[in-house]
Structure 1
């Protein structure tokens, strides 16, 4: 065979090889296996980095369950869990890196996260404390409590029937599934808390007290009621009542410049949110250990407290989200154990708080949004694991 034939054969071999490589790249790119491999690597890295201290072995199992959960958004790169037992013994579990996987610095027990809707626990306890002190009643009607609402003509007369207990338990008639003025807390300029007189323009989606529909607006109105009773801003009331200055990096977010400079896993805030207005529904940030310490004291309050629900609230607490009380959901499928829990989710945060009927408090924080179904599954997993381990 002459040289020209050899060159031609080699050229064809090169062309065939190029096309074969090109086809392989396409096949790999469209295959689920690279993602499976990268997820497996991330899971193993996070499990290997998992650092737990304390006696509650089930907390480590919870962390691993969270790491292994599939997520249809961003993959988890960090987490912080804490549990304070009824006797006051603290167990913590942390893993991962504040930014990208394998990039320093690592998450520590003092690393701060946003709490998202777990902030509502503070709002609920604040209002319930006013009720315990007889400065407010669960039966009080909202229109009689705020000077901005007196003497107005209401587009929907049912607004005048909204009671404090309805706001606490998300039974006020607001349904955030309906777009518009009723729950625009995440708009750049929400009408609550600074223009609550616009409540007169609202059309409710159902009669107050008749069903549950999650609403940020209701908790914003509760913060205005607290402000009226204390004659202070909501932020100042919370900072003083819970002595937040005693906890390092535990505060309200206003904008990126208000966040901790170091030891923070908080991602850049969503610029479209008004964090001043969101203070009472999703404004707090801090670390897991400080959060369970504060809530641990809340749980010991006399009735009504954050583990209670309306006496006429007939609901199914055998369903993980089937029963909402004055703070969050109540869940129990066995008389030996009962959970009271509240989750929180924003564009770059997932938070979970669980109070058990033994007096223990657990929280989970991460800076990756989770599918709400995953959080519910995690609650059920923790519940069943603790039952199996005899609590």
Structure 2
């Protein structure tokens, strides 16, 4: 297994600065997720660890040894990509065995290792099939089996579930989580899906514009976001962010009502509140009123989307609530569940 250290890692493509002085330690056996929107630098970071991209500057170390100049095939990493990368002219057995063939394992050892890897992901009945005869979920499991067949020191996974439908994604997430815990291999997992990050990771590094915005356990990032970007990216739905003006003891939402709330300072701020923390209230007992924009039945709950001025924000309500588009409702904002951010920098304000 491996401790991975990234030191002042920088990557430029021409004049485009993709990764900016990134510093990150990934512990032995840790499952770390790089999370962020398209173009944030997460895949480029993973490709530099794999050796598929060369850093413009900085160092990559495995167990304290600098590997910048070590070829990909000698880094002992296994990769699973979005498109699976299966060889269409090979059956499942040969696809899984291919890394062993390259390393000249004897055939009897290859068979033993392939059978073991296939058993871990439930592929034993499909070893003689061709990739075209498999479902998307089965192809994804072939890619996983090929990655684990030789027990590498590092797993690198780049959006491996994005081609699967919603039901298969849930199953595949469980398989990946189970494999990571069973094998105990240091793993870097790249995704833009915060649900995958929250369910899989020991720690999450939220990236934007080539910079790590926050690094921590999923529950810490959810409950204690460092800035407005992290707050808006983590959560389903995302945190409601409302621009407010604070003058004296008054908090005012744009041209709307004055709110009887305490803010950490005066001036232009962004007030954040999660959908599950907002409450529908009786008339006269809420902080503000708004009309229903859409009403969504989710099964275990109801999502009420409200329009206030030119913004839409969400409240997670009980599953038996029934309202109609255009209905007016009153909303309570719990003081102890509010988040405050600087309106310009987005940085979190405490107090």
Bucket of the pairwise TM-score, normalised by the shorter protein: under 0.3
TM-score by length of structure 1 reads: 0.20
TM-score by length of structure 2 reads: 0.22
Relative CO higher for 1 or 2, CA cutoff 8 Å, sep ≥ 6?
Answer: 1
